[in-house]
């Protein structure tokens, strides 16, 4: 019991001070029949060594991305994270502290959040950003609800390029809240359909760019259309690294920008924890969800930071809060901001360019394979290809050659009959050998 400091002697002494005969006396309010007489039927305590012996084999039955030629994106991205990031976030003072409710002894967390908010706002070219959401998908449902509060309307239109899991997350939470969610059919590029789908009760249109097929969309016409219809334009994304190279949504006039920040500072982690980035215009701030760090001064006039505008939040406003969210993604936020600080504008541009070049080279190489068509017209580091047969079958065959070749679109959305479409991603972590091996293997398989 290495984590429990009390000795039996301590326990006896403490019970005596309390005036209780046994620990059972302290559980008097528990209905007697509900008290377990013995430990539940699970294994007993084990040493570090024994636990490692159990956990390590579980880890080794998986094939980690780094052990293969790896081309998966579609919402999570494998990038190189500098060693110092993981070292710094494991410092006790960051790892084992709580929400900074006592700002006098939490300036480290608060200042890091303030820097994070600034970096997110600069990256997305938005006026303000919050201290993060759980992830991109839950941030998106919060954005949809926020748009409904701002516009006092209840219909939300989702482009067919929104990641299907994001669309399902939005539908699940928002329909319960009474919103009507209209998801357009899957489409590589559906600007016209989005514009057509707006009506007088539309609170927001949600367009993901780069979208799930990798397509980059010019958001300006959609912003214009949405604003003319009295709706907000919500720009969504799953690959934050893209904004090192492509025009950010804020520069195109988006009202809310929300997406996944995992690709900066955070490992793949089989889907979580990740970090949702959330930014908006100042005029909508009071309707926005999530924590905010703000600048102020202390009693001596020194600059410092506090959590602020918390009257929007559940612990004060209860059922009238802008969200039920009670945490942010603290440590993932810290990893993001440290990685971004290490990159700076120069590093970000360079790594983003490497991503794009690798993806372009891969697209060129795959397009050379007979029967393969690259579907995505404009992209950052991922794109869709159409294969002459089912993508899941091709993926299996590629696995046999040590290549994890992509995500079959039908895994994300089995309803659209796009069984032959494969979503492919290349990042700076892919070598030229990886790219060549992929094209050669695919050629082999399709012959």
Partner 1 sequence: MTKKYTKDHEWVRIEGDVAVVGISNFAAEQLGDVVYVELPAIGKAVKQGADMAVVESAKAASDVYAPISGEIVAVNDALNGNPEKVNEGPEGDGWFVKIKVANASELEALMDEAAYADFAKA
Partner 2 sequence: MTATVSGNHGLQQAEGLLFDFASLKRTGVDMPAPRGRPDRLGGLGRKVAPPLPGLSEPEAVRHYVRLSQKNYAIDLGLFPLGSCTMKHNPRLNERMARLEGFADLHPLQPMQTVQGALLLMEELSRWLMTLTGMEAVALSPKAGAHGELCGMLAIRAALIARGEGETRKRVLVPESAHGTNPATAAACGFIVDEIHATDDGHVDIEDLKKKLGPDVAGIMLTNPNTCGLFERDIRTIADLIHGAGGYFYCDGANYNAIVGRVRPGDLGVDAMHINLHKTFSTPHGGGGPGAGPTVLSEALAPFAPVPLITLHGENRELIEHSEGTQAFGRMCAFHGQMGMFTRALTYMMSHGSDGLRQVAEDAVLNANYLLARLKLHFSAPFGERPCMHEVLLDDSSIKPKGVETIDMAKALLDEGYHPFTTYFPLVVHGAMLIEPTETEPKRELDRFADVMIALAERVKAGEVEFFKQAPKLTPMRRLDDTRAARQPKLRWRRGENSGAAAKHAAE
Under the rule (CB under 8 A), what is the footprint of partner 1?
Answer: 286, 308, 310-311, 316-317
Residue 201 partner contact from partner 1, partner 2, none using kind-dependent CB cut-offs of 5 to 8 Å: none
Cβ distance to partner 2 smaller for residue 300 or 433: 300
Instruction: Give the strand pairing for 256-260 and 276-280.
Output: antiparallel
Cβ distance to partner 1 smaller for residue 287 or 341: 287
Q: How far is the CB of 247 from partner 2 (least distance, A)?
A: 5
Task: Tell me the two tokens of residue 231.
Answer: 């709706």
Q: How far is the CB of 241 from partner 1 (least distance, A)?
A: 37
Q: How far is the CB of 289 from partner 2 (least distance, A)?
A: 10
Cβ distance to partner 2 smaller for residue 225 or 250: 250
Q: How far is the CB of 68 from partner 2 (least distance, A)?
A: 8
Cβ distance to partner 1 smaller for residue 118 or 310: 310
Sequence length of the chain is 447
Q: How far is the CB of 327 from partner 1 (least distance, A)?
A: 19
What is the rounded CA–CA span in Å between residue 167 and residue 174? 10
What is the rounded CA–CA span in Å between residue 230 and residue 149? 13
Q: How far is the CB of 278 from partner 1 (least distance, A)?
A: 21
What is the rounded CA–CA span in Å between residue 262 and residue 272? 9
Residue 20 partner contact from partner 1, partner 2, none using kind-dependent CB cut-offs of 5 to 8 Å: partner 2
Element (H, E) at 104: none
Cβ distance to partner 2 smaller for residue 229 or 374: 374
Residue 230 partner contact from partner 2, partner 1, none using kind-dependent CB cut-offs of 5 to 8 Å: none
Q: How far is the CB of 242 from partner 2 (least distance, A)?
A: 9
Cβ distance to partner 1 smaller for residue 45 or 317: 317
Cβ distance to partner 1 smaller for residue 46 or 308: 308
What is the rounded CA–CA span in Å between residue 223 and residue 228? 8
Strand partners, 420: none
Q: How far is the CB of 229 from partner 1 (least distance, A)?
A: 21
Of the CA atoms within 13 Å of residue 391, those in its CB half-sphere come to 25
Element (H, E) at 302: none
Residue 439 partner contact from partner 2, partner 1, none using kind-dependent CB cut-offs of 5 to 8 Å: none
Cβ distance to partner 2 smaller for residue 229 or 294: 294
191 and 377 Cβ atoms separated by less than 8 Å: no
Q: How buried is 373 (Cβ within 10 angstroms: 0-12 exposed, 13-18 middle, 19+ buried)?
A: middle
Q: How far is the CB of 283 from partner 1 (least distance, A)?
A: 12
Cβ distance to partner 2 smaller for residue 118 or 229: 118
End-to-end CA distance of the chain: 60
What is the rounded CA–CA span in Å between residue 423 and residue 239? 14
What is the rounded CA–CA span in Å between residue 157 and residue 305? 38
Strand partners, 408: 422
Cβ distance to partner 2 smaller for residue 230 or 413: 413
What is the rounded CA–CA span in Å between residue 222 and residue 348? 28
164 and 412 Cβ atoms separated by less than 8 Å: yes
Count of beta carbons in the 10 Å neighbourhood of residue 384: 25
Nearest to 70 by CA among 354, 427, 319, 408: 427
Which value, to the nearest 10 degrees, does the dihedral of the CA atoms of residues 395, 398, 404, 408 take? -10
Q: How far is the CB of 27 from partner 2 (least distance, A)?
A: 7
Residue 342 partner contact from partner 1, partner 2, none using kind-dependent CB cut-offs of 5 to 8 Å: partner 2
Residue 245 partner contact from partner 2, partner 1, none using kind-dependent CB cut-offs of 5 to 8 Å: partner 2
Residue 344 partner contact from partner 1, partner 2, none using kind-dependent CB cut-offs of 5 to 8 Å: partner 2
Please enumerate in sequence order all residues whose Cβ is within 8 A of that of 371, keeping only pairs 6 or more positions apart, or say none. 387, 388, 446
């Amino acid at each position: 019991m290495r984590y429990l400091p009390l000795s039996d002697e301590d326990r006896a002494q403490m019970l005596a001070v309390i005036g209780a005969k046994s620990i059972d006396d302290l559980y008097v309010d528990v209905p007697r029949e509900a008290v377990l007489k013995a430990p539940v039927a699970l294994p007993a305590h084990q040493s570090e060594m024994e636990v490692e012996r159990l956990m390590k084999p579980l880890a080794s039955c998986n094939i980690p991305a780094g052990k293969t030629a790896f081309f998966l994106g579609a919402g999570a991205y494998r990038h190189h994270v500098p060693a110092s990031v993981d070292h710094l976030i494991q410092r006790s003072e960051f790892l084992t502290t709580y929400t900074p409710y006592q700002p006098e002894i939490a300036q480290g967390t608060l200042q890091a959040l303030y820097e994070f908010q600034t970096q997110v706002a600069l990256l997305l070219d938005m006026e303000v950003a919050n201290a993060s959401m759980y992830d991109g998908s839950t941030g998106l449902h919060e954005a949809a609800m926020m748009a409904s509060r701002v516009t006092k309307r209840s219909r939300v239109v989702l482009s067919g390029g929104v990641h299907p899991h994001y669309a399902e997350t939005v539908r699940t939470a928002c329909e319960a809240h009474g919103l009507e969610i209209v998801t357009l059919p899957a489409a590589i590029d559906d600007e016209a359909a989005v514009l057509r789908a707006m009506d007088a009760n539309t609170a927001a249109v949600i367009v993901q760019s780069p979208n799930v097929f990798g397509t980059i969309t010019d958001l300006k016409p959609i912003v214009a259309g949405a604003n003319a219809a009295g709706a907000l334009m919500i720009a969504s994304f799953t690959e934050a690294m893209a904004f090192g190279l492509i025009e950010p949504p804020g520069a195109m006039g988006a009202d809310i920008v929300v997406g996944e920040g995992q690709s900066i500072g955070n490992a793949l982690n089989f889907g979580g924890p990740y970090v949702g980035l959330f930014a908006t215009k100042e005029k909508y701030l009071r309707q926005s969800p999530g924590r905010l760090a703000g600048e102020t001064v202390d009693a001596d006039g020194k600059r410092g930071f506090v959590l602020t505008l918390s009257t929007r939040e559940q612990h004060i406003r209860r059922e009238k809060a802008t969200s039920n969210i009670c945490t942010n993604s603290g440590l993932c936020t810290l990893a993001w901001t440290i990685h971004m600080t290490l990159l700076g504008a120069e590093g970000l541009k360079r790594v983003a360019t490497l991503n794009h070049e690798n993806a372009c080279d891969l697209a060129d190489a795959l397009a050379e394979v007979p029967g393969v068509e690259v579907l995505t017209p404009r992209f950052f580091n991922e794109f869709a290809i159409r294969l002459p047969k089912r993508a899941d079958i091709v993926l299996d065959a590629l696995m046999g050659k040590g290549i994890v070749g992509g995500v079959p679109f039908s895994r994300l959305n089995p309803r659209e009959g796009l069984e032959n479409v494969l979503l492919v991603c290349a990042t700076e972590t892919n070598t030229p050998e990886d790219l060549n091996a992929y094209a050669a293997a695919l050629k082999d398989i399709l012959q």
